[in-house]
Amino acid sequence: MALTANLDGERPTFVTHLECSLTGERYAADVLQGLSAAGRPLLVRYDLAAAGAALSRDTLEGRPTDLWRWRELLPVRRTASIVSLGEIETPLIPIPNSAAPNVIVKDEGRLPTGSFKARGLVMAVAMARELGVTRIAMPTNGNAGAALAAYATRAGIETVVLCPDDTPEINVREIAAQGARVYRVNGLIDECGAIVGKGAAEGLWFDFSTLKEPYRIEGKKTMGLELAAQLGWRLPKAIFYPTGGGTGLIGMWKAFDELEALGWIGSERPKMFAVQASGCAPIVKAWEDGVEHAERWENADTIAMGIRVPKAVGDFLILRAVRESGGRGIAVDDADTLAAVDDCGRKDGLLLCPEGGATLAAWRKAVAEGWIDEGDEAVLFNCATGLKYPLKDSSVTLDKKNLAPLSSL
């Protein structure tokens, strides 16, 4: 039996072509594509009029609420290409005590492999399978590699994963445990990416780096689709997104445009806040400098590994979305991130990952600086389960033979 009724039977896809995000040049959708000739990400384009005729809001609302309910707005042609591990709709959790009553966390840690990388990789792997890829390589800070390993293994695709040698141990082991070959590299993620690119040029594998194939963004787009549906076809005032390569932010921005083209939402958009760590904030710096492309951030250093990305190939797409939305780039110190993780767990019972903690720290900064009001409806993205990261030990040891008075516990 299928994991989800949304995967029973074939559904049409309405993809028309791929488009260079920089030049607008058109590319065919039914063949394997990497970056455009201009070296920039390709975006998937749909016949949205036809998609809208095939799928109404009512039909959609009658379907089980997983990722595959959005099938008409996704690129996969054949259901048989999809390997699902149960990509559920993630919940919206208010955190009134550590933030404010109108602040909600979209908790992506509930997805397969414990992070929202599952959204992007279930899609990219399905398309790789559809287009005949047999070997994939990827640079990762941990979560993307884990999601790739899980889906590619299930799809029978061989996988090579390169991560910086200080990637959280649990991630490195998880990747191997799910069937990939994993290598620790004495460099940062872009340096791992350079090795992957070299192997791809030699024809050894297909390059699955962030935004270097067109379909991961389509999977991440479902965060924006889902959010609009969960809020009753409107969007919040502000979105705080922990920004590394930026696929999720770019994907959500695309989702909002597609929903507006379908007539399902209006033209209002949330302020998009791209959150980075002050030890690795290339997008924030480019935002502040008013430039279109970000320079590589040297000596990148933060505990929030998922956003330790010194250089992003989609930098201009992130910056464009942030500027058009009236949002901004916000850099937060690791100490504030850790305090936010601690507060949210202790006061609201929700364990955030460090990247999620960074969004709460950024929300606090935005309120303090007057960039938003405390009462504004804001959505923070917690993109992985906090359980994947080392936790501090606050326990006290008890000696069963020499107990202190229990009233003192």
Ligand X SMILES: *Cc1c(COP(=O)(O)O)cnc(C)c1O
Contact indicator for 106, 24 with CB cutoff of 8 Å: no
Is 300 a residue that touches ligand X (CB under 6 A)? no
Select from 4-12, 17-25, 237-245, 398-406 the region that touches ligand X (CB under 6 A): 237-245
Q: What is the DSSP string of 100-129?
A: -TTEEEEEGGGSGGGBTHHHHHHHHHHHHH
Length of the chain: 409
Task: Select 242 or 270, whichever has its Cβ closest to ligand X.
Answer: 242
Contact indicator for 271, 241 with CB cutoff of 8 Å: no
Among 282, 306, 357, 386, binds ligand X (CB under 6 A): 306
Is 75 a residue that touches ligand X (CB under 6 A)? no
Closest CA relative to residue 139, chosen from 105, 162, 118? 162
The residues near 43 (Cβ < 8 Å, ≥ 6 apart) are 18, 19, 20, 21, 214, 217, 254
Among 244, 270, 282, 310, binds ligand X (CB under 6 A): 244
Q: Tell me the residue nearest to ligand X as measured from the CB.
A: 306
- In angstroms, give the least distance from the CB of 149 to ligand X: 14
Among 262, 344, 352, 353, binds ligand X (CB under 6 A): 353
Among 139, 168, 248, 282, binds ligand X (CB under 6 A): 248
d(CA 357, CA 334): 9
- In angstroms, give the least distance from the CB of 248 to ligand X: 4
* Distances in whole angstroms, Cα of residue 101 to Cα of each of 105, 226, 234, 375: 11, 21, 18, 7
Select from 11-19, 60-68, 231-239, 244-252 the region that touches ligand X (CB under 6 A): 244-252
Question: How many other CB atoms are found less than 10 A from the CB of residue 1?
Answer: 5
Contact indicator for 63, 73 with CB cutoff of 8 Å: no
Question: How many other CB atoms are found less than 10 A from the CB of residue 194?
Answer: 14
Task: Select 48 or 138, whichever has its Cβ closest to ligand X.
Answer: 138
d(CA 368, CA 173): 40
Is 127 a residue that touches ligand X (CB under 6 A)? no
Q: What amino acid is encoded at 344 in this protein?
A: C
Q: Map residues 375-394 to x or -, x wherever contact with ligand X holds by CB under 6 A.
A: --------xx----------
Among 243, 276, 325, 337, binds ligand X (CB under 6 A): 243
- In angstroms, give the least distance from the CB of 339 to ligand X: 18
Site size toward ligand X, by CB under 6 A:
18
End-to-end C-alpha distance for the chain, whole angstroms? 50
Task: Select 52 or 193, whichever has its Cβ closest to ligand X.
Answer: 193
d(CA 118, CA 95): 24
Contact indicator for 73, 219 with CB cutoff of 8 Å: no
Task: Select 6 or 209, whichever has its Cβ closest to ligand X.
Answer: 209
Select from 15-23, 81-89, 91-99, 245-253 the region that touches ligand X (CB under 6 A): 245-253
3-state SS class at 293: coil
Q: Map residues 184-213 to x or -, x wherever contact with ligand X holds by CB under 6 A.
A: --------------------------x---
Q: Map residues 96-125 to x or -, x wherever contact with ligand X holds by CB under 6 A.
A: -------------------x-x--------
Instruction: Using the Cα atoms of residue 196, residue 198, residue 203 and residue 206 in order, give the sign of their dihedral.
Output: positive
Is 143 a residue that touches ligand X (CB under 6 A)? yes
Is 246 a residue that touches ligand X (CB under 6 A)? yes
Task: Select 210 or 222, whichever has its Cβ closest to ligand X.
Answer: 210
Residues that bind ligand X (CB under 6 A): 115, 117, 143-144, 210, 242-248, 306-307, 353, 355, 383-384
